[in-house]
Chain A
Amino acid sequence: MNQPRRLAAALIAAALLALAQDAATADTNPELDRLMGLLAQRRHGEADFSETKYLSLLRQPLQSSGVLIYDAPDHLEQRTSAPKPQSVVLDHGILTLQIGKRQRLLRLADYPQLAPLIDSIRATLAGDRAALERVFALDFDGTLEHWQLRLEPRDPALAATLKRIDMRGERAAIREVQVLQSDGDRSVMSITPRE
């Protein structure tokens, strides 16, 4: 019964990966460790997003847009403004969903299957490659100027719902996050950093 919430948290976290962006310094060496180093330096970030979800259940894709906010080390926020206002906030391990008038709180630690995923997301934002690789197989491609990072779950239980996360970015700015579900449904989020 907690399936939707779990997934919700996973997806939000994935989306929020996009927040680590716009680092001050660039590095010419296109290695994953360098990218991680850049990501880790972010203390705060804000970005506009627009997202398209393709669900087999719906006759047409769903569009949404809003703002993403990140404060190191453990505050992540997705504020959707269109088509309807809603917000998802992860703060100190507690996820708050505000949809319409209803607010739901869930503690990530209560969801042991989800916790590794979120920890890994945090690890990414913190630039902790080792922690990230405990949960996902990482595949880095391209240069630091134009890179792609593919995350594939190692745990079969997680892989049953989540096939992979594809991120695309320029230096420390994440530009796009695609989440692909195991049943073929997917979402694409484009991110534009606010200067």
Chain B
Amino acid sequence: MIRTRVVSLSVWLALVALALLVVARARYSADLSAFLPRSPSAAQQLLVQQLQDGLASRLILVGIEGADGATRARLSRALATRLRARAEFVSVSNGEDASQDRDREFVFRHRYALSAAVSAERFSIDGLRAAIADTLELVASAAGLSAKSLFVSDPTGETLQVIDQLQGAQPRRESGVWSSADGARALLIGETRAAGSDTDAQAQAIGLIRAEFAGASTATPLQLLLSGPAVFSVDARVTIEHEAVRLSLLSTTLIVTLLLLVYRSLPTLLIGLLPVACGALAGVAAVALGFGVVQGITLGFGVTLIGESVDYSIYLFIQSPQRSLWRTIGLGVLTSICGFASLLPSSFPGLAQLGLFSISGLTAAAAVTRFVLPQLPVTLKVADLAPLGTAAARLLLRLRLPWSVAAGLALACALLLYHDRDRLWNRDLSALSPVSAAAQALDASMRTDLGAPDIGDLVVVNADSEQAALQWSEAVGARLDELVDQKVIAGYDSATRFLPSSRTQDARRASLPAEQPLRSRVAAVAASLQLQPDALQPFVQQLAAARSAAPLTRADLDGTSFALGADALLWQRDGVWHALLPLRASGLAGWGAAGAASDRPADPWAADPIDIDRVRAAVAAVAPGHILVMNIKHELDSLYGGYLSEALHLSLAGLAAIVVLLLIALRSAARAARVVAPLLLAVLVVAAGFALAGTRLTILHLIGMLLIVAVGSNYALFFDRRAAEREPSALPLTLASLLIANACTVIGFGVLASAHVPVLSALGATVAPGTLLALLFAALLAPRRVLAGA
């Protein structure tokens, strides 16, 4: 006896030490790779890459509301100045004059490299005459005595041409700074130095903005609005942490109070929690060994999933440790493992980790309950729960659920679910998003106002070099221009608008005439257009300079507001250059011609009027294999939809495995059916309840249903055990232990159901009623004689 104890405890301590070692050395990750499939497509990879540390993920959108336009503009300038002085920000843009002047200077200086109108024909005698006459019309129009200062340097109007090309990228200005389309909100964009996935650094940057805003803010009440992916993740983390602390405090208090009432001793309570702690430890260690890295999602949910291991010690302490108890608990663990094993093959790494965590955690918890707890040198004190069990048995004897009624209920639920089958599941990833609809709407409106990169439809160019990426972007752009003409799309953005490929720049430079021929052509044109002979002297000189100018490179964009655009639309990673060409749907006119006053839909994702297949067909011939056309929301939803469908199929396989396991273990179809029936019924009723309430199910509801089966199988097995035993154990104690175990589960998940985070509340709202129903149905469907002994 002593030997057994020594062996058990030493093996246990050794394993705990080993697990602690593994856990301490494990790599933990809170990034989005948990959501990236194991073998992602190129589009998915790019997507997750962008979400992790793409420029879009590093942008914080800032809005200032309240007071009047001049006050908002003053604060916008003050805030931008303060933030620019901080190392946390790479750049802060608010459209103020300084950057506007640099933008103008940039466009004017590089007009011959940038203007798409530059060609040999344009600088022939006829071309020059036509272009100069056009510009002269502007000068001579009501529009312009002073256009002449520009006219003498740029009589062919290339500067205006470039401005037209760039229109669509410029937000509205109010009192000299960027503002929303309705003029009621000043807007800024901050680019953080830290990656978007570095939530700590992002939280710091956001705190800095708030502090500087408070510092720069005058007495006038102004509101600060923040949005962007980083703001969302920081907010989500704060909410989840806050919720987790609040809810776990609440549920721990409730459960500990309940268990103290039952156990009447703190040591017993602590020992009862030992299996959970060991299970969690084993779970983390197994995931670290199996996956190399432990995802935040695993830590967050894992312990919730193995909460059922508290039940083991409850069963042990309340019922007496007989051989048949261990058999029942063992079978319960095995059914749970079958259920959770269905998560293991998931291509969603987050789910696969949860599966491994649950399996190893439950196994470890059961083993500790079986081999360690009885060996611990403490006296367990438990309240006498026989009266509770007796009362419950009496009640149950009066409440009977005939099998015919149960079958009818199951059928009704199944029919309801079948009827609602098309809208049963929410395949929209946003259903899981902790970001509120209001916050999403704010983000969409700020993004639309700023023309910030992140809209739904994209063409992506992948190339080996910057120049190849730019050249292919230009080729794609040519096709997209045709689609704009055909009104398939309203427009698109491209880095080549402010950074043409050197091939294009070379071609434009080569089409500029040499000084002598140009001089004689200009003289001829000037004469025919009644211009003073020397009026265009500056033009001739500047064009000559442009012919021998160095090519425009990315470095030339520094200091202009185009730099941000260039980084958003063109970047290099792992030796591959990516160029993005975001498409604008017809409803979303840019900041140009027709767009100035149009009503924009608040949510750019609300409608997807772009015929993506036509875009795909149009760009198909350009560099096949290097061009992707994608809709971000569609990609995300299909990714999630794939996980969901797969998880559904795997869960059904898990259910089949449980049935097979029970058939083998119980050696009776009738007994297996009696164990499975209450679980299925509970799952059906809960699912039907959601359908009736109009709640569409997500992957978290599915995991919740797995938990109903995992936890509920223990209940059903206890009733089966009683039915099968020749010398039945004390019924009241069995019933009492089930009630206490179920009360703990319902408390824990019921509290979770009140969470504001959708993933937490979905899980709680599924498991709390589900396990209660599983216990109820298991009791009501058990043979009458099981309850008779009381």
Contacts and interface: CB of A to CB of B under 8 A. Distances in A.
Interface string A20-64: 000000000000000000000000000000000101111110101
Interface stretch (A7-15, A119-127, A136-144, A168-176): A7-15
B141 A88 contact: yes
Interface of B: 97, 104, 107-108, 134, 137-152, 159-160, 163-164, 172-176, 183, 530-532, 535, 592-594, 596-597
Contacts of B140: 53, 55, 62, 64
A3 B596 contact: no
A4 interface: yes
Majority secondary structure, A binding face: mixed
Contacts of A2: 104, 163
Given A58-B532, A59-B532, A100 B134 contact: yes
A110 B173 contact: yes
B142 A109 contact: no
Contact of B147 (A3, A103, A109): A3
Contacts of B137: 84, 86, 99-100
Residue among A62, A103, A112, A161 facing the most chain B CB atoms (10 A cut-off): A112
Contacts of A57: 139, 148, 151-152, 531-532, 535
B147 A181 contact: no
Contacts of B535: 57
Nearest to A179: B145
Interface string A147-176: 000000000000001000000000000000
Given A8-B144, A86-B142, 4 more contacts: A7-B145, A12-B143, A99-B137, A109-B175
Interface residues of A, number: 43
Contacts of B139: 4, 55, 57
Interface string A91-105: 010100101100111
Contacts of A103: 593
Contacts of A134: none
A110 B607 CA distance: 30
A123 B572 CA distance: 54
Nearest to A56: B532
Contacts of A7: 143-147
Contacts of A62: 140
Contact of B146 (A3, A64, A92): A3
B146 A161 contact: yes
A5 B104 CA distance: 13
Contacts of B183: 109
Contacts of A161: 146
Contacts of A56: 148, 532
Nearest to A92: B597
A59 B174 contact: no
Contact of A80 (B142, B159, B174): B142
A103 B595 CA distance: 12
A88 B107 contact: no
Given A59-B532, A104-B593, A8 B149 contact: no
A178 B183 CA distance: 34
A117 to B, nearest CB: 13
Nearest to A86: B141
Interface centre among B97, B142, B145, B596 (most CB of A within 10 A): B142
Nearest to A8: B143
A1 B106 CA distance: 10
Given A59-B532, A99-B138, A88 B143 contact: yes
